[in-house]
Amino acid sequence: MTGDRTQGGWVIALSLLAAFLLSGVPLPGKLDQFRPDWVAMTLIYWCMALPHRIGIGVGWLVGLLLDVARGALLGQYALALSVIAYLTLQAYRRIRIFSPWRQALTVLVLLLIEQVLVFWISGVIGYPPRDGWYLAPAFGGMVAWPLLFVVLRDVRRHFQVA
């Protein structure tokens, strides 16, 4: 349509906002331990779909807001999200052509890296994880990925975000 011009930035911002709100909604009962990190997953999607627009800097800024919202050390999520944005940018060509379940596995790996980074830093400042449950949200994210992918892809196509 408009050639090389970018458009639909507000869609990206809104989707990140929605993800942010969604991550505050608890899941029922025991399932809550698996509550996916929607913000990180949305970021992975946009890095994969529009690598020329969304990248390390955006990931870092989104992460900084997460730090404030979640009461983490300033920079904790910023570091984790910029790292997964970087990894997504390096691999997006391959991820794009994967089947949904291989994609989900890739996302699992990315989310595991995020969790490990965040909890590694938490451990350094005196909050070491008690058990392995802190990795559970990554698995929740893997299961939720195909759904999120389809929704965001349709949103992107509908609003012609480029």
Partner 1 sequence: MAELKPSKRFRYLFTLNPAATLRLGLWAALAMGMMTVDHRYHSLDGLRDLLSTAVYPLQTLMQAPTAIRTWFTQNLANRDSLLEENARLREKQIFLNAQLQKLTTLEAENRRLRSLLESAVNTPERVLIAELLAVDFDLYRHHILLNRGRRHGIEASQPVIDQHGVIGQIMRADLLTSTAILITDPNHALPIQINRTGIRTLARGTGHFQQLDLPHIPNSEDVKVGDELVTSGLGGRFPKGYPVGTITRVEFDPGSPFARITAKPLAQLDRIREVMLLENRTDGVTAAPAPVVP
Query: Which positions touch partner 1 (CB under 8 A)?
Result: 3-4, 17, 20-21, 23-25, 33, 37, 51-52, 55-57, 60, 63-65, 68-76, 78-79, 82-83, 86, 89-90, 93, 118-119, 121-122, 125-130, 133-134, 156-157, 160-162
Nearer residue to partner 1 within complex by CB, 10 or 127:
127
Q: 88: closest CA among 135, 138, 43, 38? A: 43
Nearer residue to partner 1 within complex by CB, 24 or 100:
24
Residue 162 beta carbon to partner 1: minimum distance, rounded to whole angstroms? 6
Residue 65 beta carbon to partner 1: minimum distance, rounded to whole angstroms? 6
Neighbours of 30 (CB within 10 A): 8
Neighbours of 6 (CB within 10 A): 12
* Alpha-helical runs (H) found in the chain: 9-22, 38-49, 56-70, 76-97, 100-124, 136-158
